[in-house]
Homo-oligomer: A and B are copies of this chain.
Amino acid sequence: MEELKERIRREGRVLSGNIIKVDGFLNHRVDTQLLWRIADEFTRFFDVSKITKVLTAEASGIALATICAHRFGVPMLFAKKAKSDNIESGLYQSEVFSYTYKKKVTLLVSQEWLSSDDHVLIIDDFMANGFAMQGLVDIVNAAGATLEGIGVAVEKGFQGGGDKFRAMEGVHYKALAVIEKADENGIVFRDDV
Residues of A within 8 A of B (CB): 15, 17, 19, 21, 23-25, 27-33, 35-36, 53, 58-60, 62-63, 66-67, 69-70, 73, 75-78, 80-82, 84-88, 100-102, 109-110, 112-113
Contacts and interface: CB of A to CB of B under 8 A. Distances in A.
Contact of A78 (B28, B53, B67, B75): B28
A62 B70 contact: no
B19 A66 contact: no
A21 B75 contact: no
B32 A69 contact: yes
A21 B63 CA distance: 21
A33 B75 CA distance: 8
A11 to B, nearest CB: 11
A59 B81 CA distance: 10
Counting chain B CB atoms within 10 Å of each CB, the highest count among A27, A53, A80, A86 belongs to A86
B28 A70 contact: no
B85 A23 contact: no
